[in-house]
């Protein structure tokens, strides 16, 4: 049987398609029927920003990864000096150590493995620096957490325990020879109490640790280098001793730096700094804006100036500030390209992030990134080499400031632009949790369990780290729980060890600091 095709069917199909294709879609249909006061329009204002310069005094510089020391002499900013205090403890292979008798020291050395160096320029990468090591006279306590904590009474500068003539040229490893007298003193302590190695925290109370620094560059010479070594470094005392009837036996005792307990679950160092740029402090940075790392000079933007800018916008729009909804707020910090383009790599931070400086009830100082820095769709302050500027976002933080009355704002709300880092932390040791060691580390961590806001995420502050709650220095005071080979954190945190000396445009430059606000006027409630 043959199927007969309806001759009218093709015509019907053509008519249907024609009818569909004739329908016009106009997304603006009815738009003109919406009352004018109900339309939400995106607007943008650009406002000049006053900027002051202040030293970041009392910045926390405890570290779980780095031993940092060196010095840089700059004709622009003067001399910057860095040193490090850390522990140096024996690493036994049993709970009791036998160091023998009739001990004769052959050598005591400390080998530090390099992480990276930071220099003023390429010519300083391999300059010779004199290295000095001193014994610490006092133990670490809960107040020794800042760059300025190591006052002269903490170590004996008059009597170095390093041998004379120790120099370093920036190579992969620095070998420091320590005195035979210091080695003999340590072995005597171990001989008097062989079981002390079973509780290394007790050993640290007897020999508190070491302090390392370099000599300053010669006056008038524009050079210098800051050296960043792995905290997991080692030393060894090689000596000959008698063990009962066994005479003249060559042996050794291994030592580790930064170790706070027998399980080696955390490391600890306090990196100190002293920078000579205090003379750059000013309430109005009109000509140029200097940005240094660590405890150096930083741009500061008043919270009052920012909120007054928004109030000015509201006044121009004829509305109250509660009807201004900020969709994006960015601080624009331009710079001019230096004549030596390598300065962008050597002296300019990769990220310059908005942060705050808080004063706690017990008198401590806390710097931390605002929460915008770690929100994925916000710019944390990445350097833009194409436009020659940093443009960090402060959207959420500004919205929070607007909820405060003017008389509620204080210097704790001011924005500090501070170098930060998103580099992964690396740990080359297999480690495990240990309650004693965790207590030791956190005792010296001023921000352990500290939450001055009682808010949690999303209220304008940031810098949280893992399950320890509020810890803005997680990158530098890292606890390695159950990690091996390499552990990493992607959180952007304050960079409290690196050397920077960047120059940005001042407030009277053609390309000057500005606040760009994109906003919407909310309809008035009826």
Q: What is the per-residue pLDDT for 435?
A: 40
Mean pLDDT of 490-507: 91
Residues 251 and 177 placed together within one structural domain of the fold:
yes
Domain count along the chain:
2
Residues 318 and 212 placed together within one structural domain of the fold:
no
Mean pLDDT of 53-73: 92
8 A C-beta contact, residue 67 and residue 229: yes
Residues 331 and 456 placed together within one structural domain of the fold:
yes
Most confident residue range from 299-308, 431-440, 454-463: 299-308
DSSP for 61-99?
Answer: -EESSEEEEEEEEETTTEEEEEEEEE-EEE--SSSS---
Q: What is the per-residue pLDDT for 406?
A: 87
Mean pLDDT of 268-278: 92
Residues 102 and 192 placed together within one structural domain of the fold:
yes
Q: Is pLDDT of 488 > 60?
A: no
Q: Which of 46-60, 152-166, 382-396, 421-435 has the lowest mean pLDDT?
A: 421-435
**Inside any domain, residue 189:** yes
Q: Is pLDDT of 481 > 80?
A: no
Residues 352 and 252 placed together within one structural domain of the fold:
no
Q: What is the C-alpha to C-alpha distance for residues 309 and 479, in angstroms, rounded to an integer?
A: 42
Mean pLDDT of 327-336: 97
pTM for this prediction:
0.79
Most confident residue range from 143-157, 243-257, 262-276: 243-257
Q: What is the C-alpha to C-alpha distance for residues 437 and 460, in angstroms, rounded to an integer?
A: 33
Q: Give the CA distances from residue 428 to residues 68, 396, 402, 486, in Å, rounded to whole numbers and listed in that order.
A: 18, 37, 46, 6
**Nearest by Cα to 155 from 234, 327, 272:** 272
**Inside any domain, residue 117:** yes
Q: What is the per-residue pLDDT for 233?
A: 94
* Averaged confidence pLDDT in the chain: 82
**Inside any domain, residue 352:** yes
**Inside any domain, residue 220:** yes
Burial level of 195, CB count in 10 A (0-12/13-18/19+)?
exposed
Domain boundary among 209, 227, 257: 257
Q: What is the C-alpha to C-alpha distance for residues 220 and 75, in angstroms, rounded to an integer?
A: 7
Residues 468 and 362 placed together within one structural domain of the fold:
yes
Percent of the chain at pLDDT exceeding 90: 58
Q: What is the per-residue pLDDT for 140?
A: 81
Question: Which residues constitute the domain of residue 315?
Answer: 42-58+278-521
Beta bridge partners of 331: 515
């Amino acid at each position: 049987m043959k199927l007969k095709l309806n001759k009218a069917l093709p015509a019907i199909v053509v008519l249907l398609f024609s009818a569909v294709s004739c329908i016009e879609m106009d997304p603006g249909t009815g738009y003109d029927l919406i009352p004018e006061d109900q339309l939400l329009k995106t607007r943008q204002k650009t406002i000049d920003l006053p900027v002051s310069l202040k030293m970041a005094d009392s910045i926390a510089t405890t570290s779980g990864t780095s031993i940092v020391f060196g010095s840089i002499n700059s004709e622009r900013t003067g001399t910057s000096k860095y040193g490090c205090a850390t522990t140096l403890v024996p690493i036994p292979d049993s709970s009791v150590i036998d160091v023998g008798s009739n001990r004769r020291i052959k050598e005591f050395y400390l080998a530090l493995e390099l992480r990276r160096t930071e220099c003023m320029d390429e010519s300083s990468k391999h300059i010779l620096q004199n290295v000095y090591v001193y014994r610490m006279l006092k133990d670490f306590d809960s107040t020794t957490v800042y760059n300025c904590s190591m006052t002269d009474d903490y170590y004996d500068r008059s009597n170095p325990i390093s041998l004379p003539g120790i120099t370093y040229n920036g190579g992969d490893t620095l070998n420091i020879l320590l005195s035979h007298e210091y080695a003999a003193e340590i072995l005597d302590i171990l001989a008097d109490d062989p079981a002390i190695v079973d509780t290394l925290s007790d050993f640290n109370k007897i020999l508190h640790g070491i302090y390392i620094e370099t000599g300053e560059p010669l006056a008038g010479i524009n050079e210098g280098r800051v050296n960043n070594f792995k905290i997991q470094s080692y030393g060894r005392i090689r000596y000959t001793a008698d063990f009962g009837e066994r005479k003249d036996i060559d042996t050794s005792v291994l030592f580790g730096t930064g170790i706070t307990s027998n399980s080696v679950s955390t490391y600890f160092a306090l990196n100190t700094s002293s920078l000579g740029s205090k003379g750059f402090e000013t309430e109005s940075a009109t000509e140029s804006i200097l940005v240094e790392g660590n405890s150096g000079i930083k741009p500061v933007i008043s919270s009052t100036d920012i909120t007054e800018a928004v109030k000015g916008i509201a006044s121009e729009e004829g509305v109250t500030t509660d009807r201004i909804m900020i969709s994006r707020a960015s601080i624009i910090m331009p710079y001019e390209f230096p004549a030596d383009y390598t300065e962008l790599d050597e002296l300019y931070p990769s990220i310059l992030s908005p942060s705050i400086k808080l004063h706690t009830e017990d008198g401590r100082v806390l710097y931390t990134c605002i929460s915008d820095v770690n929100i994925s769709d916000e710019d944390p302050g990445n350097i833009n080499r194409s436009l020659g500027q940093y443009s960090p976002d402060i959207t959420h933080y500004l919205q929070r400031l607007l909820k405060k009355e003017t008389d509620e704002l204080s210097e704790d709300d001011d924005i500090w632009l501070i170098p930060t880092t998103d580099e992964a932390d690396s740990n080359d040791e297999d480690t495990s949790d240990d309650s004693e060691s965790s207590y030791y580390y956190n005792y010296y961590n001023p921000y352990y369990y500290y939450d001055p806001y009682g808010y949690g995420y999303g209220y304008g502050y940031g810098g949280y780290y893992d399950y320890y709650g509020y810890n803005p220095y997680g990158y530098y005071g890292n606890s390695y729980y159950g990690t091996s080979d390499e552990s990493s954190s992607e959180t952007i945190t304050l960079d409290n060890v690196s050397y920077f000396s960047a120059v940005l445009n001042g407030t009277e430059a053609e390309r000057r600091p500005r606040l760009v606000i994109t906003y919407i006027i909310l309809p008035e409630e009826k």
